Amino acid sequence: MTTQSNNKIVDVVTDRIHSASNGSLFFSNSFPEYGDEYIGHILSDLVDRGVIYRIGRGIYLKTKSTKFGLVYPSIDKIAQAIAERDNAEILPTGTMALNILGLSTQVPMNPTFITSGSARVVNVDGRSITFKRAVPRNFAIKGEKRRLIVQALKAIGEKNMTPDDYSKIGSIIKRYIEPEYFESDLKAMPTWIRRVFLKYSNK
């Protein structure tokens, strides 16, 4: 590769990053038309120049710095970007699923996601994002809210469900009917969770 070609690639990568909005995440494979290793060097140089920030191994962020520090995207957005990079599906579990649905005020510092990709732990600015490999059945549910509700119910557990839990979950189910794929989604659910959906979805 000639020096002229190298400079052109650097200019293309730099221009794309400059035109991206704050909060955008970049990886070595964010520029698939070029080699990952070479792009990695370019991104490292842009970190040295203060154009982007390295927030984890191989993870770069375009953001602004304030007197309170860097402005980060949500941990969920970071996890989703990593999943897209790896061409994998993910679902938040446990406290994070409950928090997203408004069933818990706790915000997990080190969230866990199930993934259709490889199991791994990614460290991001002192926090860890855990990806646990899960069987395909977990991703068979197509309703966007429905699959999240299923994870929330699993986090609570059938034996721990209180009348208040049923009431809150029921309200969410009624709010997000998502009729498309309903029947096929039911078949992918554990039996007790299926009963909850049938009870509150008027099906």
User: What is the per-residue pLDDT across 69-102, written as a single tens digit (0 to 9) for each?
Assistant: 888 888 889 999 999 999 999 999 999 999 999 9
Statement: residue 8 has pLDDT above 90: no
Q: What are the CA-CA distances from residue 71 to residues 20, 66, 128, 142 (Å)?
A: 15, 7, 18, 33
All CATH 1.10.10.10 domain ranges in the chain, comma separated: 3-69
Q: To the nearest whole number, what is the mean pLDDT of the chain?
A: 91
Q: What is the CA radius of gyration of the chain?
A: 21
Q: Rounded distance, CA 98 to CA 100, Å?
A: 6
3-69: CATH class: mainly alpha
Q: What is the pLDDT of residues 139-170, one digit of tens each?
A: 999 999 999 999 999 999 999 999 999 999 99
Mean pLDDT on 129-134: 96
| DSSP symbols for 42-100 | HHHHHHHTTSSEEEETTEEE---EETTEE-PPPHHHHHHHHHHHTT--EEE-HHHHHHH
Across 52-68, average pLDDT: 90
